[in-house]
Chain A
């Protein structure tokens, strides 16, 4: 207690130094005056009386020192002094300080932004849900390594079979058309289990949530919970919304409650607006068999551990249960096991896409920050050397080595923390920009990232670590000075610093690694976009319609599609028109179906699967996918032809061993089909994917209420065609909206969105890093040259040509640079070949990046060398 009190008094005293000094001075004066009077009374002469008084008092200065040491906190006073000094020093070098602070700020800002993103995905994967990171995913795992999702029946069975978990909840995402006929909006929602909201621990903003008994039997309760934003925007936040009816997919649902603010569903970063009991699936999605079909794996399951249970127990129970399902339902579950995963480990969907990209990005950006540190260390070392004399004077006057080190440290720390501060500002700006990212494409995406205490701590930690890293070399160097040498040394005898060269090499090496990583990433991104998808994307307009609100039957759906295509084809700018249920390169992928095909006997358990797209005749022509054998589908109005299928080359290779496919029978859940054609392979889910087997079925045989219209246009008029297409649809059915109108290129662009963010970061940061490396090299070389002015002058006097001088300086420095670059290059090469491209080498990147980097480095060496060589020898010799 006493010591605490003393500490605070001393802290205050440190701040009020002057007033205290004054007090002591007065006290001492008074003391001596009183003693003098005493001595006078004892009969001494005035002069002797004062002299004796002073003698008796003792050394005033020594006492003052003791007094000060007693009064304040010496270390804090030193620190404050150091900081004052640091601020002065920094203000004397505004250019250098600006470079250092700005480069650190960018490095820290980028890292903090990415970290806030990762933190969101890992620790708050579901905004508004407390403890969301504790939820575990229960993921069926197929023998081929994929995670196909769980079926509803599987979910019901697992609820009973996993005692280590409590309250397993399930959802599937679904597109909804909301509104009265003709004025429908496309909205995304989740079909959820009855315990969805209670298991997430949510409280409704108003009203109530879905009850367990409302998701018991199929088609029972037509209720819906809406999101807070939806409530605010569509119902202006009116409290009377509870009890109102809304039309969803042409069914009337009663709004029973509003989800809490910020809750956006359980598939971050997707944002959902509606939650409907899963048992409404067959009612809302006409013909959906999700509730009874074990092969319809459309649900995701999550749960928390029961108190006291472990994840291992849960995994063991899941394995047992899945093994039992595989025995009991071999047609759907053979070869399917199950994994218990952390929520952030999500093996599929947007979470996975984002997470893997972010992890790589963070790693590369930390390397970038390290390179920035190396650069700063070098700049500081070069600067520190010009202060040798100052430091030598300080040492000679009795400053301890620790004081010198702490002087340097406090200067650099101040820079680092200023950088971190600015970096936080960048991060705030970055996360805000991320939060405001537009809702793109068919899927609404929202990031609720922000800079919170944790992110702030991360940024400050980065700042402190950077400060320590780049303080160390100059601090060690200056504190280790011999004051004699320091004072004596003039410019021409300055020791050449190995440390600087090593640092320069290390920095170039790091820059090499980061630049190669950035280049590889950009290359893969660019080549992904330029890869031939094996269909033609130019000149294709896409638009979707949805009849499911009309409750149409097969005949009317088929008829609608036929009439729509006839009208569209009649438009003057349309070269060809087709309808398909799926568009390649969609974010959510094209569904796969199980099937059996005549002529292929499966040896192992499980079932043959292929991507399935249902299309109208003319689709292959519109997409420019060549039909290699056989023919296109029969006309939509043809009632005579048997059910048909077209397969792709990969299908023939994998399942028919390349034998003739035409005429073989293919059996799927939808019925029996005769294979009438073989189409060329094309890209389905992602650029660069391995070839996938695919089956095309005909709209004639399996009509659907939903369709994506594909229009091939003449002469690049696809954007102008949108309104004409709308007009056609309005003529056919005035109430039916045409939604999600986009060109094929737009469709691809927005589905590459998640990969584009890191790509853009690299585009900006790559050149920046190159610039930083150049500045670092330039600073080091120009410093080294400035110290050798006299030597250069001597050489020039004795007849060395300026060309030779330049050459020598460049050669000396390029040695360290080349070493660093070579090590960095080798590292990048090994990692890339072994871990990323698996053997393939991207030659342009591995040759181009070093060429550019070494070119820039040479230039950064050449400029100071050239300047030095232009010096007048007489001036140089006179130079100190």
Chain B
């Protein structure tokens, strides 16, 4: 149970980082929308779970935030990738690609391929 949440949180953090990398400064709702758009309905997470992840990333120094005006002219908290966050994204992207490549190969292997 806990492990599953961790995995989810880990991937969610990576998605947040990638989103901010691509779109620059963005508020919480914007990030949620973006992730939703890209993943479609596949990732049916509650949008609220995003906020603890944002806080964790901010505390780690991967992102920073400040108050700004949103499109409807309200006060909103805007998040931005830091240099450290960019580095983290690079590392984690590599790690993710490696992992998915390995997993992919596992799924490709059929019984008759084995010696």
* Smallest CB separation, A149 vs chain B (Å): 70
Interface status of A637 (Cβ within 8 A of chain B): no
Q: Which residues of A contact B52 (CB under 8 A)?
A: 63, 66-67, 69-70
As a 0/1 sequence over residues 22 to 50 of chain A, the CB contacts with chain B under 8 angstroms (1 = contact) are: 01101110110111011000000000000
* Smallest CB separation, A547 vs chain B (Å): 86
Q: Which residues of A contact B33 (CB under 8 A)?
A: 38
* Smallest CB separation, A491 vs chain B (Å): 44
Most chain B CB neighbours (cut-off 10 Å) among A9, A31, A38, A58: A31
Q: Which residues of A contact B61 (CB under 8 A)?
A: 2, 5
Q: A27-B76, A28-B48, A34-B70 are in contact. List 9 more A-B contacts (CB 8 A).
A: A27-B28, A30-B70, A31-B32, A58-B45, A59-B46, A62-B48, A63-B48, A70-B52, A70-B55
A-B interface, 10 closest residue pairs, ranked by CB to CB distance from nearest: A58-B46, A63-B48, A58-B48, A34-B29, A66-B52, A70-B52, A9-B59, A31-B29, A57-B48, A67-B52
Chain B residue, CB-CB nearest to A37: B72
Interface size band for A: 20 to 34
Q: Which residues of B contact A763 (CB under 8 A)?
A: none
Ordered by A's residue number, 21 sampled pairs between the chains whose C-beta atoms are within 8 Å are: A2-B60, A5-B60, A27-B28, A27-B76, A28-B48, A30-B27, A30-B29, A30-B77, A31-B28, A31-B32, A34-B27, A34-B76, A38-B33, A58-B47, A58-B49, A60-B48, A63-B48, A63-B51, A66-B52, A67-B55, A70-B59
List residues 41-57 of chain B with CB under 8 A from any CB of chain A: 45-49, 51-52, 55-56
Interface residues of B (CB under 8 A from A): 27-29, 32-33, 45-49, 51-52, 55-56, 59-61, 70-72, 74-77
Q: Which residues of B contact A62 (CB under 8 A)?
A: 48
* Smallest CB separation, A533 vs chain B (Å): 79
Bound Cα distance from A350 to B92, whole angstroms? 72
Q: Which residues of A contact B46 (CB under 8 A)?
A: 56-59, 63
* Smallest CB separation, A580 vs chain B (Å): 85
Bound Cα distance from A13 to B46, whole angstroms? 25
Q: Which residues of B contact A33 (CB under 8 A)?
A: 72, 74
Bound Cα distance from A63 to B47, whole angstroms? 10
Bound Cα distance from A31 to B47, whole angstroms? 9
As a 0/1 sequence over residues 835 to 858 of chain A, the CB contacts with chain B under 8 angstroms (1 = contact) are: 000000000000000000000000
Interface of A is mostly: helix
Q: Which residues of B contact A2 (CB under 8 A)?
A: 60-61
A28, B75: Cβ atoms closer than 8 Å:
no
* Smallest CB separation, B15 vs chain A (Å): 17
* Smallest CB separation, A729 vs chain B (Å): 87
Q: Which residues of B contact A67 (CB under 8 A)?
A: 51-52, 55
Bound Cα distance from A498 to B60, whole angstroms? 52
* Smallest CB separation, A231 vs chain B (Å): 61
Q: Which residues of B contact A37 (CB under 8 A)?
A: 72
Interface status of A477 (Cβ within 8 A of chain B): no
Q: Which residues of A contact B28 (CB under 8 A)?
A: 27, 30-31
Q: Which residues of A contact B71 (CB under 8 A)?
A: 34
* Smallest CB separation, B32 vs chain A (Å): 7
Q: Which residues of B contact A56 (CB under 8 A)?
A: 46-47
Bound Cα distance from A31 to B70, whole angstroms? 10
* Smallest CB separation, B113 vs chain A (Å): 41
Interface status of A389 (Cβ within 8 A of chain B): no
Bound Cα distance from A59 to B51, whole angstroms? 12
A28, B51: Cβ atoms closer than 8 Å:
yes
Contact status of A30 and B74, CB under 8 A, knowing A63-B52, A70-B55: yes
* Smallest CB separation, A842 vs chain B (Å): 68
Chain B residue, CB-CB nearest to A60: B48
Interface status of A71 (Cβ within 8 A of chain B): yes
Bound Cα distance from A314 to B72, whole angstroms? 90
* Smallest CB separation, B104 vs chain A (Å): 30
Most chain A CB neighbours (cut-off 10 Å) among B46, B48, B70: B48
Interface status of A6 (Cβ within 8 A of chain B): yes
Q: Which residues of A contact B72 (CB under 8 A)?
A: 33-34, 37
A71, B55: Cβ atoms closer than 8 Å:
yes
Interface status of A297 (Cβ within 8 A of chain B): no
Most chain B CB neighbours (cut-off 10 Å) among A26, A67, A69: A67
Q: Which residues of B contact A10 (CB under 8 A)?
A: 59
Q: Which residues of B contact A31 (CB under 8 A)?
A: 28-29, 32, 47
Chain B residue, CB-CB nearest to A24: B51
Chain B residue, CB-CB nearest to A6: B59
Chain B residue, CB-CB nearest to A69: B52
Q: Which residues of B contact A13 (CB under 8 A)?
A: 59
A26, B59: Cβ atoms closer than 8 Å:
no
Q: Which residues of B contact A24 (CB under 8 A)?
A: 51
* Smallest CB separation, B30 vs chain A (Å): 8
B47, A57: Cβ atoms closer than 8 Å:
yes
Chain A residue, CB-CB nearest to B33: A38
* Smallest CB separation, A11 vs chain B (Å): 11
* Smallest CB separation, A470 vs chain B (Å): 37
Q: Which residues of A contact B56 (CB under 8 A)?
A: 70
* Smallest CB separation, B64 vs chain A (Å): 12
* Smallest CB separation, B71 vs chain A (Å): 8
Bound Cα distance from A354 to B52, whole angstroms? 65
* Smallest CB separation, B6 vs chain A (Å): 12
Bound Cα distance from A555 to B57, whole angstroms? 101
